[in-house]
Amino acid sequence: VGLGILGGTRTQSECGESAAGTQDPIAHIGIHAQDAVRPRGKLSQRPDLATHQRVPMGRCLHHCIDCGKTFRNRFALTQHRRMHTGERPHHCAECGKGFAQSSHLRIHERTHTGERPHHCADCGKSFAQISQLRIHKHTHTGERPYCCDECGKSFITAAALTIHQRTHTGERPHRCADCGKGFAHNSSLRIHQRTHTGERPYSCADC
């Protein structure tokens, strides 16, 4: 096991994980020391080893205890596990909304600042997210890459295809909390809820 520079800023074990990626690098290196003396097939019961498994070529994989998906470093596993736990530690200072990843928070903050750094080279329209720009570009190229297997109709986005497929499956995942009625689209649910609240947000300019 190579310790790298113990007195410096980085300590690295044989699996390539550095001090920046583990809370206790010395303890992490100890994992491999224990592996060296542990009989093949035997596993430690220590919690920090439960998801840390030796694999060929001296690489380490970190395993999600919920779904079994594997990751090359502990940071990626931590980010992933928030999908299961619902943890959202990154909060917007403006509205308090929480996010699992700091990068998602930064994108959200643009809804408050109005920043739109991604510009379309064809028409100049700008977007807060690069994914939005990619989708927009299809309006210029005419590309509709997402096709329905049932009827052949194509769509610009995967989300639009998913919503369309509900016309074939009959799925109505959006339920009204007041009456239990289901809807294929979230927007349809919001409109329906006004029958309970009495809200009428659109008024005629003439009368």
What predicted TM-score, i.e. pTM, was given to this entire model? 0.44
Domain identity same for 56 and 29 = yes
* pLDDT score recorded for residue 183: 92
* 109-162 pLDDT, tens digit each: 988 998 999 999 999 999 988 988 999 999 999 999 999 999 999 999 888 999
In a domain, 203, yes or no: no
Is 204 inside any structural domain? no
Confidence of residue 60 (pLDDT cuts 50, 70, 90): low
Report the CATH number at residue 113: 3.30.160.60
Identify the domain containing residue 63 by its residue range: 1-38+47-86
130 and 82 share one domain? no
Looking at residue 57, its pLDDT comes to 47
Query: Do 54 and 122 lie in a common domain?
Result: no
SS3 string, the chain, reads CCCECCCCCCEECCCCCEHHHCCCHHHHHHHHHHHHHCCCCCCCCCHHHCCEEECHHHCEEEECCCCCCEECCHHHHHHHHHHHHCCCCEECCCCCCEECCHHHHHHHHHHHHCCCCEECCCCCCEECCHHHHHHHHHHHHCCCCEECCCCCCEECCHHHHHHHHHHHHCCCCEECCCCCCEECCHHHHHHHHHHHHCCCCCCCCCC
Residue 119 sits in the same domain as residue 155 = no
pLDDT digits (tens, 9 = 90+) for 69-80: 898 888 888 888
Residue 26 and residue 58 share a domain:
yes
In a domain, 52, yes or no: yes
Tell me the two tokens of residue 147.
């096709």
Give me the pLDDT at residue 171, please.
92
How many structural domains is the chain composed of? 3
Q: Do 16 and 32 lie in a common domain?
A: yes
Instruction: Tell whether 30 and 74 lie within a shared domain.
Output: yes
Least confident range from 26-35, 83-92, 160-169: namely 26-35
Q: Is residue 121 domain-shared with residue 161, that is, in the same domain? A: no
| Average pLDDT of span 84-88 | 88
Residues 98 and 77 in one domain: no
Chain segment 180-207, per-residue pLDDT in tens: 999 988 889 999 999 999 999 899 989 8
